[in-house]
Structure 1
Amino acid sequence: MLGRLDEAGILRSVGRSTPVRPDTARQLAEHLMPAGPGHAWEDVRFTASWGSRTAPDVVLVEPDLVAEVVVDAAQERGAWRHPIRVARLRPDVTTADVPPFGAGATPSAG
């Protein structure tokens, strides 16, 4: 799941990624930190895919890693309708550098 902060600083879901390549998965493992109590999605129930009734194992992480993504521009209720492909991680960019969701820019990972 990819999220982005809105103008009020609330983490909103903006889409799901395709499976990441092994090299990207290793980079994610190096940069992601488990979330502490009070994560915005703490009580959210996730499904394995759109329309699925199966709940996957979920590990919430701190929402502080930015990634460049490749998306189909189609959106539904403020999220990308089709799976997102992670192009590369951007540890050089902070979530403060990403315009807030709803600020006129298209959704992006944050």
Structure 2
Amino acid sequence: MRETTEAIVGAITGSFAAPSSLLLGRYDHGRLQYTGRTTTLAQAASSTVAGLLAPARRGHPWTGWSFSAGWGSRETLDVTLVEPELVVEVGVDVARDASGRWHHPARLHRARPDLSPGDVPRITAPPR
């Protein structure tokens, strides 16, 4: 089962000019927590998002983090941190782990520059 929701872009794979995927987060107790990443972006979506991203300023909440290339993989992703200001609408599988991370990659529906990070739902415990 899937649902549509919002998330905050905290990092990307690929370049600023052509992001390949977005690493997404939501706030939990005042800290931006990683919740998952998108599938590979289509060229049009990549171009749209690229124009809305800003380089991360000093003190990004994910500084020093590493991100797995996939469930059970020891390979890490090469990511570029971005300022966590861009909100996107994504389609996600409702299956989440105990931390609130989505089990499967999210599908980008659209950027939501009309929303601020404060408008994004907080992390909640997964349904039982």
TM surpasses 0.5 = yes
- Distance across 1 between alignment mates of 2:66 and 2:118: 27
Which residue pairs with 2:52 in the alignment?
31
The answer to whether the 8 A contact 1:99-1:105 is kept is no
The answer on 1:19 being equivalent to 2:47 is no
Alignment of 1:12-91 (within 5 A): 12-77=33-98, 78-91=100-113
Deviations 1:23-73 (A, max 9, x none): 111111101111011111101112222222222321000111111110111
- Distance across 1 between alignment mates of 2:126 and 2:87: 15
Structure 2 residues not aligned, in runs of 5+: 1-22
The answer to whether the 8 A contact 1:24-1:88 is kept is yes
Aligned length: 104
Instruction: State the AA in 1 paired with 2:114.
Output: D
Structure 2 residue matching 1:47: 3-state secondary structure: coil
Deviations 1:64-99 (A, max 9, x none): 111111011111121111111011111111112223
Structure 1 residue matching 2:110: 3-state secondary structure: strand
- Distance across 1 between alignment mates of 2:78 and 2:96: 26
- Distance across 2 between alignment mates of 1:51 and 1:30: 33
- Distance across 2 between alignment mates of 1:46 and 1:72: 20
Which residue pairs with 1:5 in the alignment?
27
- Alignment RMSD (CA, Å): 1.9
Provide TM-score, normalisation by structure 2. Answer: 0.73
- Distance across 1 between alignment mates of 2:40 and 2:32: 22
Structure 2 residue matching 1:76: 3-state secondary structure: coil
